[in-house]
């Protein structure tokens, strides 16, 4: 049986797709992994590296365009790319004749799922929504989907919605030694603060934090800093840190082995993407969350509110004097470590999903095999 896994070129989309590929590869004839072609090859190289040991996989690239709702012209561009990419997608579908398609959402997934439904109406269509609210593409695709897997418990009347959680990277499941990680990074076993903005970085958080540190370096004299800036801001931030001599900081554009960083971090400042929230829950890490204000459907707000509901994180929205509020909250937590401990303990209250994507897909594959035998 051939299956298609289609994803979009951001960490929140492609990491779940990669993990599911690894988990079900031994149960299928071939996986066709479809992703958006990128000018910036950084994320494509990560995908290739993660999948290189899977023999049963073909990586295929297509050209699609994101629909930006604030710009009506982007709809025309999206439709144009839909038409252009259709020939390549149809070729892939006719060549491999998939019996199942698993989509992690995003603009790349939409044309692939729609054309699969047209050409192979009986194909199982499984879509995965990582966030606390359905994206625009997943709202549409949910009507033609066989099942909708959700990263968090989205309350829907339809039985096709199944709370599975988001897949955790296999590398995160290892038990790591904190001392070894401190030594590897050249750090002391002191209180460690992590700042990052997801797989693509967050310029506004980067700028706000460096401004605070320059103005009040004395507040961080007992704190060591790990700052993952994103590729865009790395050189600029690195130079700014070098000018602050009393700060013990390690600055990275991207860090592949995030399980190491999570393991030694005592407090995290980040955006509120679905995979970040999932990883915070897994590692039980207290956080200051600053949701991306331009995120579609304001999904990062909804994600952040989940951790706020269980008192595992403090949420700061980017409006009015948000930088001032951010500074006050950060300083209070640094001065009163017992508050950080309380946030961490509250993760025990968050309910776990009753099943997993891997289990659900394997059940479908097993039923298909049984039908063939009959």
Q: How far is CA 187 from CA 180, 239, 257, 264, 358, in A?
A: 10, 19, 16, 10, 37
In the three-class reduction of DSSP (H, G, I as helix; E, B as strand; rest coil), residue 178 is classed as helix
Question: In the prediction, which pLDDT does 369 show?
Answer: 66
pTM above 0.75, yes or no: yes
Q: 210: part of which helix (H) or strand (E)?
A: helix 203-215
Listed residue (319, 287, 321) closest to 305, CA to CA: 287
Q: How far is CA 275 from CA 136, 198, 247, 315, 334, in A?
A: 18, 9, 29, 17, 25
Q: Scan for tokens 């990419």, then name that residue.
A: 85
| Contact present, 26 and 20 (Cβ < 8 Å) | no
Distance (Å, whole) CA 132 – CA 252:
29
Neighbours of 295 (CB within 10 A): 18
Which residues in 245-278 are b (16+ Cβ under 10 Å) and which e? Answer: eebbbbbbbbeeebbbbbbbbbbbbbbbbbbbbb
Transcribe 119-148 into DSSP letters. Answer: H-TTSEEEEEE-SSS--HHHHHHTTT-SEE
Neighbours of 232 (CB within 10 A): 15
| Contact present, 185 and 228 (Cβ < 8 Å) | no
Distance (Å, whole) CA 131 – CA 165:
10
Residue 271, token pair as written in the block: 């955006």
- Which of left, alpha, beta for 230 (phi over 0: left; psi -120 to 50: alpha)? left
Question: In the prediction, which pLDDT does 181 show?
Answer: 97
Please, what's the largest Cα pairwise distance for the chain?
Answer: 73
Distance (Å, whole) CA 354 – CA 362:
15
Residue 355, token pair as written in the block: 């099943």
Query: pLDDT tens digits for the chain (374 residues)?
Result: 899 999 988 888 999 999 999 999 999 999 999 998 776 677 788 899 999 888 899 999 998 766 555 556 656 666 777 788 898 999 999 999 999 999 999 888 989 999 999 999 999 999 999 999 999 889 999 999 999 999 999 877 789 999 999 999 988 998 899 999 999 999 999 999 999 987 677 899 999 999 999 999 999 989 999 999 998 999 999 999 988 876 789 999 999 899 999 999 999 999 999 999 999 999 999 999 999 998 877 899 999 999 999 999 999 999 989 999 999 999 999 999 999 999 999 999 999 999 999 999 999 998 876 666 44
243 DSSP 8-state letter: T
Neighbours of 199 (CB within 10 A): 24
Residue 16, token pair as written in the block: 């779940």
Question: In the prediction, which pLDDT does 155 show?
Answer: 78
Question: In the prediction, which pLDDT does 374 show?
Answer: 41
Question: In the prediction, which pLDDT does 342 show?
Answer: 97
Q: Please give the domain boundaries of the chain with CATH numbers for all domains.
A: 2-165+353-373 (3.40.50.2000), 172-349 (3.40.50.2000)
């Amino acid at each position: 049986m051939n299956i298609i896994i289609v994803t979009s070129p951001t960490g929140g989309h492609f990491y779940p797709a990669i993990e599911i590929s690894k988990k079900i590869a031994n149960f299928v004839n071939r996986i066709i992994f479809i992703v958006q072609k990128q000018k910036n090859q950084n994320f494509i190289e990560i995908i290739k590296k993660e999948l290189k040991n899977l023999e049963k996989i073909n990586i295929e690239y297509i050209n699609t365009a994101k629909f930006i709702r604030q710009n009506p012209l982007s709809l025309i561009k999206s439709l144009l790319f839909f038409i252009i990419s259709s020939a390549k997608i149809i070729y892939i579908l006719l060549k491999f004749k998939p019996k199942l398609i698993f989509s992690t959402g995003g603009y790349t997934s939409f044309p692939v799922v729609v054309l699969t439904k047209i050409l192979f109406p009986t194909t199982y269509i499984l879509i995965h929504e990582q966030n606390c609210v359905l994206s625009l593409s997943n709202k549409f695709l949910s009507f033609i989907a066989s099942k909708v897997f959700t990263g968090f418990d989205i309350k829907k009347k339809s039985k096709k919605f199944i709370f599975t959680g988001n897949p955790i990277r296999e590398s995160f499941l290892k038990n790591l030694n904190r001392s070894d990680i401190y030594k590897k990074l050249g750090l002391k076993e002191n209180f460690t603060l992590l700042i990052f903005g997801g797989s693509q970085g967050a310029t506004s958080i980067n700028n706000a934090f460096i401004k605070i540190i320059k103005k009040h370096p004395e507040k961080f004299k007992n704190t060591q800093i790990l700052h993952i800036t994103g590729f865009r801001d790395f050189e600029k931030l690195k130079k700014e840190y070098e000018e602050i001599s009393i700060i013990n900081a390690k600055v990275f554009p991207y860090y592949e082995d995030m399980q190491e960083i999570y393991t030694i971090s005592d407090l995290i400042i980040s955006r509120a993407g679905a995979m970040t929230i999932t990883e915070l829950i897994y590692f039980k890490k207290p956080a200051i969350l600053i949701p991306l204000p331009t995120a579609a459907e304001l999904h990062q707000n909804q994600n952040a509110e989940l951790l706020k509901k269980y008192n595992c994180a403090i949420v700061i929205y980017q409006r009015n004097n948000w930088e001032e509020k951010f500074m006050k909250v950060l300083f209070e937590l640094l001065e009163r470590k017992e508050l950080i401990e309380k946030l961490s303990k509250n993760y025990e209250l968050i309910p776990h999903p009753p099943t997993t994507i891997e289990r659900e897909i394997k059940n479908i594959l097993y039923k298909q095999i049984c039908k063939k035998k009959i």
